[in-house]
């Protein structure tokens, strides 16, 4: 996954080439390897070229709550990098490859191409909007709706980058991971997955989600994707597939 593929409506090919040219070599991580630790100085900006990364925090009893699952084309904790230190841990959920950008390279980017630098801030704001959606899912939706909404979110994000079809997608999570995503116990998640499968909505097994009834999945998850700020054409395509109406959007301020 390249920067131009991940953000085609934001970065021009020239922007992507300039930013990618300042990234260091690819850094590989093994499944379940620690990538970042909270409380540490953010010494590099990490772009996910391959794999899934989980951002989380742990309570005093060692119980984990995932705060974001990031996919190829995302920056790992971009807000933490821009603010100067990490407030979350991050872990590779499968084989992961990251490209790194140092603060020195970012400073040179600010001087050479301030518009590109401002676009990174826009991505940071989209990350924040996704975090608000995450809070809504955990705070308002019931158990089955939480799981369905999470699957919808992963599907749309991956589809927008050409990484899956509407039939399903790979998701390197265990049921315990899903519990830590959804704020439930593994037993409760297992029961919710069984209900979704028995009702012919979706099925999850061996790190893959199979979509059996896309409109029903979106309806069950009470899911809208406006927090992702996709382009109008893609927005209409997803709405058509999901049997929904696309949300009109105001053109954002030029960067």
Which two three-digit tokens encode residue 50? 């391959």
Say how many CA atoms lie within 13 Å of 89 toward its Cβ: 16
- Going across the sheet that includes 96-101, the strands are 26-29, 96-101, 45-50, 75-76
CB neighbours of residue 112 within 10 Å: 11
pLDDT by 10s per residue, the chain, length 255? 888 889 988 888 888 888 887 777 788 999 999 998 888 777 788 999 999 999 999 999 989 999 999 999 999 988 877 787 888 899 999 999 999 887 777 777 777 878 887 888 899 999 999 999 999 999 999 999 999 999 999 999 999 999 999 999 999 999 999 999 999 999 999 999 999 999 999 999 999 999 999 999 999 999 999 999 998 999 999 999 998 876 656 555 544
For 31, residues 6+ apart whose C-beta sits below 8 A from its C-beta are 92, 93, 94, 95, 172
Strand partners, 152: none
For the chain, give the secondary structure using H, E and C: CCHHHHCCCCCCHHHHHHHHHCCCCEEEECCCCEEECCCCECCCEEEEEECCEEEEEECCCCCEEEEEEECCCCEECHHHHHHCECCCEEEECCCEEEEEECHHHHHHHHHHCHHHHHHHHHHHHHHHHHHHHHHHHHHHCCHHHHHHHHHHHHHHHHHHCCCCECCEEECCCCHHHHHHHHCCCHHHHHHHHHHHHHCCCEEEECCEEEECCHHHHHHHCCCCCHHHCCCHHHHHHHHHHHCCCCCCCCCCCCC
CB burial of residue 29 (10 Å; 0-12, 13-18, 19+): buried
Which two three-digit tokens encode residue 103? 């603060």
Q: What is the rounded CA–CA span in Å between residue 131 and residue 25?
A: 29
């Amino acid at each position: 996954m390249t920067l131009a593929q991940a953000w085609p409506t934001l970065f021009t090919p020239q922007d992507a080439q300039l930013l990618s040219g300042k990234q260091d070599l690819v850094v590989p991580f093994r499944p379940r390897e620690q990538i970042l630790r909270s409380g540490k100085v953010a010494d590099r900006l990490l772009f996910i070229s391959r794999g899934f990364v989980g951002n989380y925090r742990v309570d005093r009893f060692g119980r984990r709550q995932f705060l974001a699952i990031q996919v190829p084309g995302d920056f790992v904790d971009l807000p933490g990098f821009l603010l100067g230190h990490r407030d979350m841990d991050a872990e590779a959920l499968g084989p992961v490859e990251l490209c790194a950008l140092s603060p020195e390279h970012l400073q040179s980017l600010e001087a050479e191409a301030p518009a590109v630098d401002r676009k990174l801030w826009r991505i940071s704001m989209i990350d924040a909007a996704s975090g608000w959606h995450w809070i809504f899912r955990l705070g308002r939706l019931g158990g089955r709706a939480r799981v369905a909404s999470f699957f919808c979110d992963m599907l749309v994000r991956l589809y927008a980058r050409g990484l899956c079809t509407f039939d399903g997608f790979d998701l390197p999570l265990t049921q315990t991971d899903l519990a830590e995503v959804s704020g439930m116990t593994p037993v409760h998640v297992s029961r919710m997955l069984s209900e979704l499968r028995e009702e012919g909505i979706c099925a999850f097994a061996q790190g893959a989600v199979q979509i059996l009834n896309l409109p029903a999945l979106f309806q069950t998850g009470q899911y809208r994707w406006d927090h992702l700020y996709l382009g109008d054409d893609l927005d209409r395509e997803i709405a058509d597939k999901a049997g929904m109406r696309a949300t009109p959007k105001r053109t954002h301020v030029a960067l």
